[in-house]
A and B are shown apart, each in its own frame.
Chain A
Amino acid sequence: MNKLLKYVIADILRTKVMIAYTVLLFLISFVVFALENSPGKGVLTMMSVVLFMVPLVSISFSAIYLYNSAEFVELMLSQPINRNKVWAGIFIGLGLSLIIAFAVGYGIPMLLFSAADGWVLFLTGIFLSACFSGLGLLSAVRVRDKARGIGAVLMIWIFFSIIFDGLVLFLSFQFADYPLEKPLMVLSALNPVDLSRILVLLDMNISALLGYTGAIFQSNLGTWSGMVFISIILLFWCVLPFFWSIKFFRKKDL
């Protein structure tokens, strides 16, 4: 067991930002589930909130946390601990804390209103927390300057949340005369936010909201295998930043 892990988690969960994030998520979920007359509709509204908020909070919080704990990292590395272990402790600790905050903030209202449709969104939120905290750490370990690092992190978030959709739309109009299904499937696999959206909508079987890429997934893979496929890619998105960032951390000068 990684000794650092529990200290990182204990440290993060006590920060005010983390508590505020949990409380805010809880309040929004609670109000949404209370106001919508069916839990299914509540889940749909929550989907927009989760897809917007979880990536933004996870990526920016992780990056800022790493910048602010530079001295703590230095303190740990001057002890007889391997660099890999220190990085694993921070990486997993941050990911787990964000997951815990999301699970409490969204999960409790979901259970209270017994929204059975909400479990896939629950899973999606966990994926997004892990994936974007990893991306945040990756950018923070690569960019030395704090202001530029946070700027980079916000760019990544804007790219995945807004620009990417536009890009897909642009490409599908430009190449409308060609068979686009396979390329578009590959393209949307490159965006964890889009994947998460498709995953939730596939599960809820709302074809009207699936959009172009979602419809391609459904018609090519079917609902069930489409969901498994997307989950596997999302899992990759959670693990990949770790192996990428540890390469930089091993060689980083503190």
Chain B
Amino acid sequence: MIEINALHKYFGKFQALSDVNLFLEKGHCYALIGPNGSGKTTLIKSILSLVIPSSGKIQIDGKVWGNNPEYRKMIGYMPQNPRFPDSMTIGQIFSMMKDVRGEYVADEELIRSYHIDQMSHKKLGTLSGGTKQKVNAALAFLFTPQILILDEPTAGLDPVSAEILKEKIQQERRRGKLILITSHILSDLDDLISDLVFMQEGKIMVQCSLDWIKQETQQHVLTKAIASWMKNQNVDR
């Protein structure tokens, strides 16, 4: 579904991505993890062409899309720090996004479970961070996209809402969607993901299945598995 070949990105002299090769398939849920500044968000933004790569090729659904924006119909994106026009109401942002999208199959499950329609008259500028994140999530899932890219999806959400979102992510994965999540809260990802992509300093250190890393490190909890794997890597070096 998403194939990335030899992707490089420089910000001036700083190399944010170096030779990234990645193949992401349908029906999998990938966790993109790595320390701060390892290039996770840059990679995600490159897929969405929010960041223009310095070199390399990104194929989505078997095609290089270039300047053609149509492929983004397949993608639902949840950015890290949602900020919406302050003077708009929740209702207005939803109708605007629907208007901009044109044709789509609506999935309003999150709108219902977060009771967003009951606050549709509220201005976006007055919302708390958590409520904004709910709107953000509902918008990403609204158009039943084939690919979901979620940047820190549970950040700022209360436990109940986070649980609703995780439930939704699992359900979409079972429907054969491709899901790419970045998160720092590893315990959140444990029962969610099927694969791991670990990045460091702009490089992909490892791409593997969750089962593999658990077996390799003899740990059953993701946090511990990754910690122990990282320790081994450092020893090898």
Residues of A within 8 A of B (CB): 3-4, 7, 11, 14-15, 69-72, 74-83, 251-254
Apart from A79-B72, A83-B67, A253-B52, what are 13 other A-B pairs with CB-CB below 8 Å?
A: A4-B100, A7-B85, A7-B88, A11-B85, A11-B87, A11-B88, A14-B87, A71-B79, A72-B83, A77-B50, A78-B48, A79-B100, A81-B72
B-side contacts of A4, CB under 8 Å: 100
Q: Contact between B50 and A74 (Cβ–Cβ < 8 Å)?
A: yes
- Does B82 touch A at the CB level, under 8 Å? yes
Q: Contact between A79 and B79 (Cβ–Cβ < 8 Å)?
A: no
Q: Contact between B101 and A80 (Cβ–Cβ < 8 Å)?
A: yes
Q: A11-B88, A71-B83, A254-B50 are in contact. Are A81 and B100 (CB under 8 A)?
A: yes
For residue A123, give the distance in angstroms from its CB to the closest CB of chain B. Answer: 30
For residue B12, give the distance in angstroms from its CB to the closest CB of chain A. Answer: 11
Q: A78-B72, A78-B77, A80-B69 are in contact. Are A253 and B50 (CB under 8 A)?
A: yes
Q: A80-B69, A253-B51, A253-B52 are in contact. Are A71 and B81 (CB under 8 A)?
A: yes
Q: A80-B70, A82-B69, A83-B67 are in contact. Are A75 and B84 (CB under 8 A)?
A: yes
Residues of B within 8 A of A (CB): 11, 45, 48-52, 67, 69-73, 75, 77, 79, 81-85, 87-88, 96-97, 99-102
A-side contacts of B73, CB under 8 Å: 80
How many Å lie between the Cα of A7 and that of B124 in the bound state?
15
What residue in chain A is nearest B49 (Cβ atoms)? Answer: A77
Partner of B52, one of A15, A82, A251: A251
Q: Contact between A74 and B79 (Cβ–Cβ < 8 Å)?
A: yes
For residue B101, give the distance in angstroms from its CB to the closest CB of chain A. Answer: 6
Partner of B79, one of A7, A14, A15, A75: A75
Q: Contact between A72 and B69 (Cβ–Cβ < 8 Å)?
A: no
Q: Contact between B45 and A254 (Cβ–Cβ < 8 Å)?
A: yes
For residue B170, give the distance in angstroms from its CB to the closest CB of chain A. Answer: 23
Q: Contact between B97 and A78 (Cβ–Cβ < 8 Å)?
A: no
What residue in chain B is nearest A79 (Cβ atoms)? Answer: B100
Q: List 5 tightest A-B contacts by C-beta distance, closest first.
A: A71-B83, A80-B72, A78-B77, A253-B51, A254-B50
Q: A11-B88, A72-B84, A254-B45 are in contact. Are A78 and B79 (CB under 8 A)?
A: yes
What residue in chain B is nearest A4 (Cβ atoms)? Answer: B100
A-side contacts of B71, CB under 8 Å: 80
Q: Contact between B11 and A71 (Cβ–Cβ < 8 Å)?
A: no
What residue in chain B is nearest A73 (Cβ atoms)? Answer: B50
How many Å lie between the Cα of A149 and that of B69 in the bound state?
29
How many Å lie between the Cα of A60 and that of B60 in the bound state?
40
For residue B21, give the distance in angstroms from its CB to the closest CB of chain A. Answer: 21
Q: Contact between B70 and A77 (Cβ–Cβ < 8 Å)?
A: no
For residue B96, give the distance in angstroms from its CB to the closest CB of chain A. Answer: 5
B-side contacts of A251, CB under 8 Å: 52
What residue in chain A is nearest B68 (Cβ atoms)? Answer: A82
For residue A99, give the distance in angstroms from its CB to the closest CB of chain B. Answer: 20
A-side contacts of B102, CB under 8 Å: 80
How many Å lie between the Cα of A4 and that of B99 in the bound state?
9
How many Å lie between the Cα of A81 and that of B85 in the bound state?
18
How many Å lie between the Cα of A77 and that of B97 in the bound state?
12
For residue B121, give the distance in angstroms from its CB to the closest CB of chain A. Answer: 15
What residue in chain B is nearest A78 (Cβ atoms)? Answer: B77
Q: Contact between A72 and B85 (Cβ–Cβ < 8 Å)?
A: yes
What residue in chain A is nearest B83 (Cβ atoms)? Answer: A71
